[in-house]
Amino acid sequence: MIGALYGTEGIAHAVELIDYVRFVPSAGTAHVEWFHFVVRAGELDCVINLSLVGDGKGQLVLLVYEGGRWEGDVERFSQVSARSGRIGLQLGDNELSFDGAFRLRAACRHRPLSVELALEPRAFACLAHNMGGGLHWVVAPRLSASGILWTGGRAVKLRDAPAYHDHNWGQLDGRALGWTWACSLAPGPFAAVLVRIAGGAQALMLWQGPHRCRSFRGDALSLTSEGLLRPVQTLRVPRALSLLDPGLASDVPAVLRIEAASEDSRLSGELSCLDVARVLVPRPGDLGHHVINEVPARLRLVGHLGGSAVAIDGPAFAELARSAS
């Protein structure tokens, strides 16, 4: 049936079939689930993440990066509503729903930042199970975002701004956490998503128009880090936990070199990291914590897929996560 549906209606129908809430409240604190969005509006990057954890709590991450400056916060909620089998959740007054487009409303309670957006999928999402063992992943590489973002007392109007979405759920070990992920936000016929899970899989996935056209996995993909990002200043959220991660030192690479090859295709390029904000997550059961680095970036990929030339060069966004002692 899905194969017979084309255009935005078919794409939205496919999203509904795989992107629904899997939250299981009885799974314990190791069960996590989050809906993640990145929006590019002119020179502004916005990150929105709504997450659920097994103890019945919810968390909102809302960040904006513009002109070398970060704004935003992390907030926890005990008032959570989520219905398994549908795309929809509510954390306090923050809400996500789906009616062919993702309808997203979120606001920081103590910072001058809020969003009200409609994000319409423009490419077919894909589903991957057991990424790194206990995590499952839906990725929608290209969306069109419209609405309003309020930051610092001004309203930024968005119309058909490029955006990205993914949805993760599963079990997280108390200590094992590590991934590198990046998505392209550049205009053009091709979209790219890069992922590497610590101790697990790695892949570079390409979409042409609405359809996924190629994936490079395992030994077909080589990722090499060069240098380290040295930001002038770093936002750490929630601010109350900033003492867990002092200083400006970062293990985020300045550049991640990318080489991908198969029998009839070859791509090469780099992900250049521009800045970083750190989301700090206390680790249950001990005094350690997780560090999730949110990284505005630029992605360049050139080469060919079979007989088709590929050129991606423009804004991107990355996330690098690790566990700290």
The CATH number of whichever domain residue 185 belongs to comes to 2.40.370.10
CB 268 within 8 A of CB 103: no
Note the pTM of the prediction, 2 decimals. 0.94
The tens place of each residue's pLDDT in the chain, 325 residues long, gives 344 456 778 999 999 999 999 876 554 556 789 999 999 999 999 999 999 976 778 999 999 999 999 999 999 999 899 888 999 999 999 999 999 999 999 999 999 999 999 999 999 999 988 776 678 999 999 999 999 999 999 999 999 999 999 999 987 655 556 899 999 999 999 999 999 988 768 999 999 999 999 999 999 999 999 999 988 888 999 887 777 676 666 789 999 999 999 999 999 999 999 999 999 887 666 666 788 999 999 999 999 999 899 999 999 999 999 877 6
164 and 27 both lie in a single domain: yes
Per the structure, how many domains does the chain have?
2
Residues 269 and 308 grouped into a single domain: yes
In a shared domain, residues 206 and 152: no
d(CA 168, CA 171): 10
131, 156, 172 - which closes a domain = 172
Report the DSSP beta bridge partners of residue 237: 279
Range of the domain at 162: 1-172
Question: SS3 for 282?
Answer: strand
Domain boundary among 128, 157, 172: 172
Same structural domain, 138 and 182? no
Based on the fold, state whether residues 45 and 134 are members of the same structural domain. yes
Give residue 3's pLDDT.
41
Within this chain, do residues 14 and 159 fall inside the same structural domain, yes or no? yes
**Do 230 and 168 fall into the same domain?**
no
Last residue in a domain, options 172, 195, 225: 172
List, as one string, the DSSP characters of 215-273.
EEEGGGEEEEEES----S--EEESGGGGGGS-SS---S-SEEEEEEE-SSEEEEEEEEE
Regarding whether 186 and 283 lie in a shared domain, the answer is yes
Phi and psi, residue 70, nearest 5°: -110, 150
What pLDDT does 251 receive? 86
